[in-house]
Amino acid sequence: MRSTRTGRRTLGVMAATLPLLTGAFALAIPPAQAAGPVPGGRAALEGTQPSWATASADQGTVAPSAKVNARVYLAGRDAKGLTAYAESVSDPRSSAYGKYLSPAEASLRFGPTAEQIGAVTGWLRQAGLTVTGSDQHYISVSGDAAAAEKAFATQLHGYRKGDKVYRAPARAASAPADLAGAVLTVTGLDDAPHRSAHQDTLPGPGAGFRNAGPFSTYFGSNVAKTLPDANGTKIPYAVKGYTGQQLRAAYGANGYTGQGVTVAITDAYASPTIAQDARQYAQRNGDKAYKADQLRQVVPADYTATQECDASGWYGEETLDVEAVHAVAPDAGIVYVAGASCNDPDLLDALNKVVDSRLADIVSNSWGDIEANETPDIAAAYDRTFKLGAVEGIGFYFSSGDNGDEVANTGKKQVDTPANSAWVTAVGGTSLAVGKGNAYQFETGWGTLKAPLSADGTSWTGFPGTYTGGAGGGTSATVAQPAYQRGVVPDSLAKANGTARMRTVPDIAAVADPNTGFLVGQTQSWPDGSVSYDEYRIGGTSLAAPVIAGVQALAQQARHLPIGFANPAIYFRFGTPLYHDVTDHPLGKDRDLAVARVDFANAVDAADGLLTSVRSLGKDSSLAAVRGYDVVTGVGSPAPGYVSSYRW
């Protein structure tokens, strides 16, 4: 998810929109019929034929000379053993809990052998493909469609999906049977974007944004007495933006600071001003000064797709993540690992850098896409990385999305990915009320309806208004229910898509509502041509994820050992006072809540006027935060005692 500066929304940053493959298909050839079985002597690579590659959508074969770039992901020595060990080492009830492996031990036990890499490489080259790179996770190849079809024993066809045509295998790709144990999957046959190979230069800071005010300094401190009532009462102005002291108090830091713990953050690209922005923000807002080398960046040799991915739009995301983690866990180390673009292969490479060198204990990830855009092949590649992280004691935290049930965004109820993975902690969102003296007042599920002030200033037009965003959540259509959710997630949610119990999202939650959001400081470009630092309020589950990552850093400090993949431990604590059981009506079922918000019409100053509106709390599309587990906040948000509950 990328920053829109007025909130957060999923922008499909995992996989860019694919171009129409003009001239790539031999359309004179009649469309193929239903694909046949995998040939004898071959092993199917499951998930390599997209669901949209149907006979009715078939537009004919791809030209034999069409360019193909693919990655063959390696399964390693013992794929089943990796899954089993990742489960046991993460389960507080297991005798293997916390008995993590080093990267070298994990590679020796579960990584591919030299013989497997050699055999897979030989097979690909023999088919006529050129090996363009390799590591312990994959072998990348390029060549023409004819060579790819030979290697994977399937024709490549064009398939119409909406108003575009995409390339995909006509049946599941396959590998020689004697290599079945070595090959996990192949990606890129289903038309991964082709990007230029030259080095791109990162753009300068993005366009500036400021909040207008009036503000509340804490929730309810400044009541909008001159504005119309909402829900039968006067309402407060939105907070200026919470800072570290308020968040640490709300979520029970209890004196812990994250000392000895390292949090990694992955996003695309890298802000050129992050070090100075983070230092200035900490100084201005009462956070601890950064120690030498406490914040560092790991960046790729070059960047691609900077225009397609709106590279400068990612600077605010990195800035938010870094400043939020430091605000909650001021002594934790922070390592930012940049993806070369916003596409899956590059983001996956960033995650693998963390795992291969064990750069961190906790990984915060504020990006994603809708589940309908995920293909099983790339999901398998991500899951292997998450499992390798689990056996090393690394936990991955993903924001759950900012479009609620996604109906308003896509026309279909669905969850986001990779938050839907059973091997990550999906972080949902709340609206947070921190009162005077940093006292926790309440939380609702994050979901906003917006109604503007009427022209005469006497009412709210169309109150309660239209939906503008909320925490992502719901039931996966593709991922089965993991064991840790059994007995916690009600069947009414787990079976929302049918008779089978499926993974539900999120797992846990923290502040996300932009109207009760976090104050962030960033160097920005202004309309007069100047470039300077300024601060603004922001939210979204892209805030919630690094906040929870910071809380987990505090908990790991208390534990004196890595928490690793946290979901079994999170659900193990369900139903205890260690969580705020967040509901949409914390002050009573008849008490709807809202705040007033004033924005600059031009986003930077009052030259073009002000826009005043009322923003509701706890109105998240069809999703509801209720007692117990729910699909807005999961098990709830951390309460005082949560952090110290990990203490041994």
Q: In angstroms, how far is CA 474 from the centroid of its own chain?
A: 15
Give the model's confidence band at 236: pLDDT under 50 very low, under 70 low, under 90 confident, else very high. Answer: very high
Largest pairwise CA distance in the chain: 78
**Tell me, what's the pLDDT at 168?**
94
Q: b or e along 300-329 (b: 16 or more beta carbons within 10 Å of the residue's beta carbon)? A: beebbbbeebbbbbbbbbbbbbbbbbbbbb
Give the model's confidence band at 24: pLDDT under 50 very low, under 70 low, under 90 confident, else very high. Answer: very low
Mean pLDDT of 326-346: 97
- Residue-averaged pLDDT of the chain: 92
Q: How far apart are CA 480 and CA 10, in angstroms?
A: 23
DSSP secondary structure letters along 613-648 = EEEEES--TT----SSSBTTTBT-EE-TTTGGGG--
Query: pTM of the entire structure?
Result: 0.92
- The two tokens of residue 297 are 């960046």
Task: Return the top range by mean pLDDT from 5-9, 27-31, 147-151.
Answer: 147-151
Mean pLDDT of 253-263: 97
Other CB atoms within 10 A of residue 245 CB:
15
Domain 210-646 top-level CATH class: alpha beta
pLDDT higher than 60, residue 3: no
For the chain, what percentages of helix, strand and coil (3-state, to nearest 5) are there? Answer: 25, 25, 45
Mean pLDDT of 45-54: 87
Other CB atoms within 10 A of residue 539 CB:
29
pLDDT higher than 50, residue 631: yes
- The two tokens of residue 336 are 């930012």
Contact 554, 643 (CB under 8 A): yes
Contact 462, 396 (CB under 8 A): no
**Tell me, what's the pLDDT at 51?**
84
pLDDT tens by residue, 338-395: 999 999 999 999 999 999 999 999 999 999 999 988 889 999 999 999 999 999 999 9
**Tell me, what's the pLDDT at 202?**
59
pLDDT higher than 70, residue 14: no
- The two tokens of residue 521 are 């400081």
What is the percentage of the chain residues whose pLDDT exceeds 90? 88
Residue 137, C-beta contacts closer than 8 angstroms, at least 6 positions apart: 73, 74, 352, 381, 384, 385
**Tell me, what's the pLDDT at 206?**
80
